[in-house]
Amino acid sequence: MATSSSGGAAIACSRRTSSDRLIDFTSRWRSSKVLLLTRVKPSFCVRCVSSEPKQRLRDPITEEGVRSTLKSFPPDAESIASNIKHHAEFTPLFSPENFAPSKAFFATAQSVRDALIINWNATYDHYEKMNAKQAYYLSMEFLQGRALLNAIGNLELTGEYAEALQKLGHTLEAVASQEPDAALGNGGLGRLASCFLDSLATLNYPAWGYGLRYKYGLFKQLITKDGQEEVAENWLEIGNPWEIVRNDVAYPVKFFGKVVTSSDGKRSWIGGEDIVAVAYDVPIPGYKTKTTISLRLWSTKVPSDQLDLSAFNAGEHTKACEAQANAEKICYILYPGDESEEGKILRLKQQYTLCSASLQDIIARFERRSGGNVRWEELPEKVAVQMNDTHPTLCIPELMRILMDLKGLKWEDAWRITQRTVAYTNHTVLPEALEKWSYDLMQKLLPRHVEIIEMIDEQLIGDIISEYGASSPEILKKKLEAMRILENFDLPASIVKLFAKPEESPVDETVKEVESIDEAKITEKDESEDKETPKKKTANKEPAPTPRKMVRMANLCVVSGHAVNGVAEIHSEIVKEEVFNDFFQLWPKKFQNKTNGVTPRRWIHFCNPDLSTVITKWIGTDDWILKTEELAELRKFAENEDLQSEWRAAKKSNKSKVASFIKQKTGYSINPNAMFDIQVKRIHEYKRQLLNILGIVYRYKKMKEMTAAEREAKFVPRVCMFGGKAFSTYVQAKRIVKFITDVGATINHDPDIGDLLKVVFVPDYNVSVAELLIPASELSQHISTAGMEASGTSNMKFAMNGCVLIGTLDGANVEIREEVGEDNFFLFGAEAHEIAGLRKERAEGKFVPDERFEEVKEFVRSGAFGASNYDELIGSLEGNEGFGRADYFLVGKDFPSYIECQEKVDEAYRDQRRWTKMSILNTAGSYKFSSDRTIHEYARDIWNIKPLEIN
């Protein structure tokens, strides 16, 4: 194979005269017209034309001529190679001296983008012309991963690009590896959003994604002797070949200021801090379709005239650039730390920027498509806005503000339109993740929106009273406390009267006087009271702290949207029965379930080509890539020896790739013949990476107590891999990362253990790493405390790739187990309905820890894993009450069940025929978990949109 330097020679040999380049450029311009008329596979009219008659430059471009030319220039490797060379020369981001892999990546991506732009513009034009209802998906995260292989796969040009790059001295794999992951998300929330966009495009639904263009992402994770360290992501440092800045799509966004009333009673938001949100569009191509939709990302800036030139020239550089710095930092970091007031303000600015810019864009598109006849009551017939979690909640008061303040609608009309337009997806049952914002902070930053939220809250109070009446004041009071959007607020005076108690018999006037004292006015200088009387003692009691006034964003979503959905069957039931039970009783028809899904294109077909080939061979068609229900056909062959042999060979190939990757990233050598046991996800106490590593510690301790022969007989060789990021201010999660790496450092260097057990923490886990690990996995851990994981999506990806799961009955595990079969899922642990009772039992001091759990804690404390102090970590698992203690996530309770279940895993893995059958049945049973199925349900039940295929 030729080296990259020979690729440089290929470029050098292709240099031509200026007139030749002009002819070639004109031919390429014509080719863009050709591509508009193609079907799925685009054609590149980019062959070298320097030898062609120059008079072709003057040929008229007719549709017939284009169709004729199309037949002459199929998208073959030679044409693609010529197009890549064109971009290396004419769209340069690197010096011309060589054709290194990084330069090859950008030129290749720009070549692919040529094809996408044609389909992209055609899709956009078709949507404008048809003016059909369109869905808009608002999310703070889009965890896209690398785009090159996905794009050329969806265009069905993988083979052609591989051959073209080979001609230029590179391999497709090496070039694709140069692409950094887009740092636009963190976990399952963002990856789900990206899978949804893939399915929306593939299924030809008119839709659009909206997010923020984070310059530095969350952070790049380094693993050092001290555990996790964070540095800024650099994914945009040398540019992003996929994005196109739309300088003509920019909207003003305001913060702070004040609200004034005009003479006609109209409210206006004036003054404050003004920025501009500019659109950057990323194409999202569908599979085997020309539909290419947009992910529109907002970047923030201020006009250049806000640079204080006088201050700058006077040497006050920071002051001169303050406005620009304040605007730009909004899109610096995903989830900036919010421990400080400044951090909270920045987060709220991010959320409002996403909502305001997106809604202005949506409204502008609606008005443009309406021509000169805008009928606002038709907005819900043309627009569906989906809020992915509570982060985009501000689109509710923002839509109301636009409709009322800018478009002149009355409250009743604007409210009716808003309720029919927006819908809310809930992704958590964790109280801390159900966002609340300080009322004072929000009023300071968004004064007009707070007024609108107060009006929505007032209307909600009226709805609750209308439903429940005043016949039972205690019930009504509880409902209002639980359901109001504004928390810790006094009720309106008219409502307080409903709770007034009937007159009681006369009481001592001095007692009444004590009860009526305004404690805030009592001072030490008040000498008018008798110091010895009980009255004075009562008055001197420390006043209770005033609860902070908060805005409950989740309640606002539920009240304002026409649909609320959970993301797995068990989660949706918890949402209805616990999290939002009062709302469910009031509006039961609002609540739905939409079990998450993942795209089978990225998560089997592209990331696991070895397995994909086996599946296609045995099913007899590759239709399963679009119709995953056909995966169920594999059940017929699950015990076939030939299929099992091919299945194991595909898995072994993927494991060998991971072994090489682990050696490169961590320095550890792992045995590809060992079982690959993987837990990759955000590091969080409820996801219980701590349970996993304590199970490994127990396994290690037992190994150390045995002879070598006993160890070999008792334990199956395992490589236990972890991956995921702990949020930078989540101290306990970072302690868990440190503990895992310390355990790994000890076990991996223990000569007694050798290859029988390895522990590896994979640094900087992201989509690209997942695309390597998931196809190689054999056992995957989804072991959250039951009732706390909304759904999960990694469990679906693992099952799709023939991985057997060990887990609790939590999230989508419940449905996966039903589909793959109980015998093909390793189940342990307490169930969701037991959790509250177990916690209460613990608080009452009735929990008796298993002796094996006590044994493993003592082993950790013994210093077996180095000099680090693990008292805070282990201490969180002890005691019966207190913040950060009492084992809130039930690690100790589930530990015995967990290690016993792991013994069953070893037993099953020893029988490779049985294990391979389980693996095949997991893939066969994963058909239900395609995001295509999920999107069909959203489109039908929530958005009411229909496919709009481009001919």
Q: Active-site positions?
A: 427, 681-682, 687, 793, 797
Angle 574-575-579 from CA coordinates, rounded to 5°: 95
| Three-state secondary structure call for residue 458 | helix
Task: Give Cα 457 distance to the centre of its chain.
Answer: 30
293 pairs with which residues across the strands?
284
Q: Dihedrals φ, ψ of 762, to 5°? A: -85, 120
Angle 437-792-297 from CA coordinates, rounded to 5°: 55
| Residues near 266 by beta carbon (within 8 Å), at least 6 away in sequence | 405
| Residues near 471 by beta carbon (within 8 Å), at least 6 away in sequence | none
β strands within 323-443, DSSP E: 383-388, 422-425, 436-438
Cβ proximity of 317 and 328 under 8 Å? no
DSSP 547-609: PPPEEEHHHHHHHH-S-EEESSHHHHHHIIIIITHHHHHH-GGGEEE----B-HIIIIIIT-H
The single-letter code of the amino acid at 781 is Q
Measured between its terminal Cα atoms, the distance across the chain in Å is: 41
Tell me how crowded residue 36 is: count the other CB atoms within 10 A of its CB.
Answer: 15
Which helix (DSSP H) or strand (DSSP E) does residue 148 occupy?
A: helix 148-154
Cβ proximity of 501 and 473 under 8 Å? no
Q: Are strands 134-138 and 591-593 parallel, antiparallel or unpaired?
A: unpaired
The single-letter code of the amino acid at 825 is F
Distances (CA, A) of 797 to 368, 518, 631, 807: 41, 61, 14, 15
Q: Could you say which DSSP state residue 500 is in?
A: P
436 pairs with which residues across the strands?
552
Distance CA 773, CA 873 (A): 28
Distance CA 779, CA 804 (A): 5
Q: Which residue has the tokens 């060998």?
A: 656
Q: Which residue has the tokens 């800024």?
A: 232
Q: Which residue has the tokens 């989906």?
A: 386
Cβ proximity of 110 and 94 under 8 Å? no
Distance CA 619, CA 811 (A): 30
Distances (CA, A) of 528 to 513, 516, 531, 535, 536: 13, 16, 9, 12, 10
Q: Are strands 436-438 and 550-552 parallel, antiparallel or unpaired?
A: antiparallel
Q: Which of 144, 127, 107, 122 is nearest to 42 (CA)?
A: 122
Look at phi and psi of residue 140 and say left if phi exceeds 0, alpha if psi is from -120 to 50, else beta: alpha
Cβ proximity of 348 and 437 under 8 Å? yes
